[in-house]
A and B are shown apart, each in its own frame.
Chain A
């Protein structure tokens, strides 16, 4: 197995692939290029990105690229499937909570940078993503006036999958990991005991260096959402990036992280987030809305909880997505 690691999308990227080394080198280069181009398209931190242009066009029709249109179309389906717990229209409240620049900057002592940005009456209501209009024939999108989108998580999963599919053209089996989001094509054959399955360490959300479990899986997606990541302080309050669209505030969950295993990366990423927000009371109902989904949650004591089918991914057998 050959690996290449670098940083992009403000997270650690790992490319893993088996095959002919010269072909893999070309594949890794193509993968890096694709990730860089996709990041430039979907980032909300650059005013020139296509996403920023879309946000500025709210109220009027916007002619989207194939990539952006496909991602928004998938976002619409996933917004509905998660009963609105995944909602890309959270950008306004995310910025009010303090996450209005790249995370390296947010991690500075934010109290002194932006005192009192929080609104005394609480955050404004999160926009209804179902109000976004789509014109498939023209590949056009219209956001309601004032709505702005953040595609951070879903875009990362989607980019991981698209990149893996490109890398697969140069390899026998490959996987692309972007922070919490991983997508695998094929299965490794040469990796000793690991042959026949991808082995993915599930990190302890309380201490990244510790491993709580090893997920063994075939082709497909594994994604983790954690409320212990991307945290900062604002006006004396600890904040994190997972906004509960029902309250407009960082989600309060009994679970520290949720890992979702699903056939598609965007679905895995979105359901991991939605299940974390839903918590133990609503997780089973939400999970039932995604075919083939398995999930593993970590609570504050570091104990693992999950769907009945999740056990197959943690046993010595190989789970099937």
Chain B
């Protein structure tokens, strides 16, 4: 009776494959869903150009400047500008 489990596997695999292919064929030939409120036609519709997004990078006139970070000697100064 060793042939029984082996045969059962083949039957189940074949059945699954046939069901899958059958469903695929059925759906491929079915009618497509139609919206109750179809969108208006946009042919000929003028689309206003969007304003460009503001750049996150500094503009050309703004430059990277050197700082004292990275080990430069920092003088001790009594005059400091630190914001208000």
Distance in Å from the Cβ of B66 to the closest Cβ of chain A? Answer: 6
Q: Which of B55, B66, B80, B81 contacts A304 (CB 8 A)?
A: B66
Q: Does A254 contact B (CB under 8 A)?
A: yes
Q: Does B61 contact A (CB under 8 A)?
A: yes
Q: Which of B58, B64, B84 contacts A229 (CB 8 A)?
A: B84
Q: Does A280 contact B (CB under 8 A)?
A: yes
Interface string of B13-42 (1 = CB under 8 A from A): 000000000000000000000000000000
Closest to B65 in A: A304
* B contact residues around A305 at 8 Å (CB): 58, 62-65
Closest to A202 in B: B81
Q: Does B68 contact A (CB under 8 A)?
A: yes
Closest to B62 in A: A305
Is A180's CB under 8 angstroms from B82's CB?
yes
Q: CB within 8 Å of B: which of A201-235?
A: 201-203, 205, 208, 211-215, 222-226, 228-230
Q: Does A133 contact B (CB under 8 A)?
A: no
> In the complex, A314→B63 CA distance in Å?
13
Distance in Å from the Cβ of A294 to the closest Cβ of chain B? Answer: 10
Best-surrounded residue of A182, A202, A215, A311 (most CB of chain B within 10 A) = A202
Is A296's CB under 8 angstroms from B65's CB?
yes
Is A224's CB under 8 angstroms from B67's CB?
no
Is A224's CB under 8 angstroms from B82's CB?
yes
Interface string of A264-282 (1 = CB under 8 A from B): 0000000000000000110
> In the complex, A129→B83 CA distance in Å?
24
Count how many chain A residues have C-beta atoms less than 8 Å from C-beta atoms of the other chain.
Answer: 54
* A contact residues around B65 at 8 Å (CB): 213, 296, 304-306, 310-311, 314
Also in contact, A212 and B62, with CB within 8 A (given A16-B78, A175-B79, A180-B84):
no
Q: Does A27 contact B (CB under 8 A)?
A: no
Q: Does A181 contact B (CB under 8 A)?
A: yes
Q: Does B2 contact A (CB under 8 A)?
A: no
> In the complex, A175→B59 CA distance in Å?
33
Is A311's CB under 8 angstroms from B63's CB?
yes
Count how many chain B residues have C-beta atoms less than 8 Å from C-beta atoms of the other chain.
Answer: 26
> In the complex, A2→B71 CA distance in Å?
30
> In the complex, A205→B82 CA distance in Å?
7
* B contact residues around A222 at 8 Å (CB): 81
Q: Does A162 contact B (CB under 8 A)?
A: no
Q: Does A82 contact B (CB under 8 A)?
A: no
Also in contact, A302 and B81, with CB within 8 A (given A214-B75, A280-B57, A280-B62):
no
Is A226's CB under 8 angstroms from B63's CB?
no
Is B84's CB under 8 angstroms from A179's CB?
yes
Distance in Å from the Cβ of A143 to the closest Cβ of chain B? Answer: 25
* B contact residues around A302 at 8 Å (CB): 67, 69
* B contact residues around A11 at 8 Å (CB): 84
Q: Does B56 contact A (CB under 8 A)?
A: yes
* B contact residues around A280 at 8 Å (CB): 55-59, 62
Distance in Å from the Cβ of A39 to the closest Cβ of chain B? Answer: 14
Distance in Å from the Cβ of B69 to the closest Cβ of chain A? Answer: 7
The interface of chain B, by Cβ under 8 A from chain A, is 54-69, 74-75, 77-84
The 9 closest A-B pairs by CB, nearest first: A226-B83, A203-B82, A180-B84, A179-B84, A304-B65, A284-B61, A280-B58, A201-B77, A224-B81
